[in-house]
């Protein structure tokens, strides 16, 4: 029997990148969404390709809708992605698929600028953003 939300019978399928890509697509992100894949690192690659990547240490003020790229396990490089839901001072709230078990969940990060698990943020390129930068 397939596990809820995965369509698979095992615990190995991490669908956080698929969730974030789905939300971005529904929100009108236009630039190279097809280049995003099932790997969280594809959101960092997207940011580099569109000059919208911001490392955690850069001082960038993340906005709702930005992809938050994480390295939660030191044995891997990039292993999770979620979307910024809100930022209030030094507290960031993220929503992600497959972030806490097999469900959509929110996580709160206090003092996020000093959290070593947060690698950085990619800002999506939307229709309005694409017109401003063209």
End-to-end CA distance of the chain: 49
Using the predicted structure, report yes or no on whether residue 23 has a pLDDT greater than 70.
Answer: yes
Residue 9 within any structural domain of the chain: no
> What domain range is 108 assigned to?
16-133
List strands edge to edge, sheet with 118-122. Answer: 53-55, 118-122, 67-70, 80-88, 91-97, 104-110
Q: What is the model's pLDDT at position 9? A: 43
Question: How far apart are alpha carbons 125 and 134 in whole angstroms?
Answer: 11
Q: What is the model's pLDDT at position 101? A: 72
Number of domains in the chain: 1
Using the predicted structure, report yes or no on whether residue 133 has a pLDDT greater than 70.
Answer: no
Q: What is the model's pLDDT at position 128? A: 53
For the packed helices 41-49 and 16-27, what is the interaxial angle rounded to 10 degrees? 40
Q: Is the dihedral of CA 58, 61, 66, 67 positive or negative?
A: positive
Residue 6 within any structural domain of the chain: no
Residue 7 within any structural domain of the chain: no
Residue 103 within any structural domain of the chain: yes
pTM of the model: 0.82
Residue 49 within any structural domain of the chain: yes
Domain CATH code at residue 118: 3.90.1720.10
Residue 10 within any structural domain of the chain: no
Using the predicted structure, report yes or no on whether residue 5 has a pLDDT greater than 50.
Answer: no
Q: What is the model's pLDDT at position 10? A: 47
pLDDT digits (tens, 9 = 90+) for 74-106: 777 888 999 999 999 999 999 999 877 778 999
């Amino acid at each position: 029997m397939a596990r809820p939300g995965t369509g698979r019978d095992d615990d190995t399928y991490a669908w956080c990148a698929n969730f974030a890509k789905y939300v971005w697509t529904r929100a009108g992100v236009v630039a190279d969404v097809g280049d995003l894949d099932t790997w969280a690192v594809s959101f960092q690659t997207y940011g580099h390709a569109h000059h919208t990547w911001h490392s955690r240490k850069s001082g960038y003020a993340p906005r709702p809708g930005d992809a938050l790229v994480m390295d939660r396990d030191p044995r891997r490089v990039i292993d999770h992605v979620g979307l910024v839901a809100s930022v209030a001072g030094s507290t960031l709230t993220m929503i992600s698929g497959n972030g806490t078990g097999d469900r959509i969940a929110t996580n709160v990060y206090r003092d996020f600028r000093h959290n070593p698990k947060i690698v950085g943020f990619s800002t999506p390129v939307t229709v309005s953003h694409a017109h401003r930068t063209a």
